[in-house]
Copies of this chain bind each other. A is one copy, B any other.
């Protein structure tokens, strides 16, 4: 089965309080060699087998841009497998 992986991250200019909280917690429990944490989301899409790689790429790009990402504060990357 063809799969697409879409990774959505906050833009570098956007504060990430969840990542900051995890970073603080890691320092407190002794993981001082971690210098920063950012949290993101990812989505695994199972795609119909008949889809050509070009069509799959075009559809996944549209889904990522129009449905999975808030373009004001987030950006995305994706890869297609299989």
Q: How many copies of this chain are found per oligomer?
A: 2
Within A35-76, which residues are at the interface with B (CB < 8 Å)?
A: 35-48, 50-51, 59, 62-63, 67-68
Chain B residues with CB under 8 A of A37: 43-46
A33 to B39 alpha-carbon distance, docked (Å):
29
Residue in B25, B39, B44, B50 whose beta carbon sits within 8 Å of that of A43 in the complex: B39
Residue in B36, B40, B51 whose beta carbon sits within 8 Å of that of A46 in the complex: B36
18 residue pairs of the A-B complex, CB under 8 angstroms, read A7-B42, A9-B44, A22-B67, A33-B47, A33-B48, A33-B51, A34-B46, A34-B48, A34-B63, A36-B45, A37-B43, A37-B44, A37-B45, A37-B46, A38-B43, A40-B42, A41-B41, A41-B42
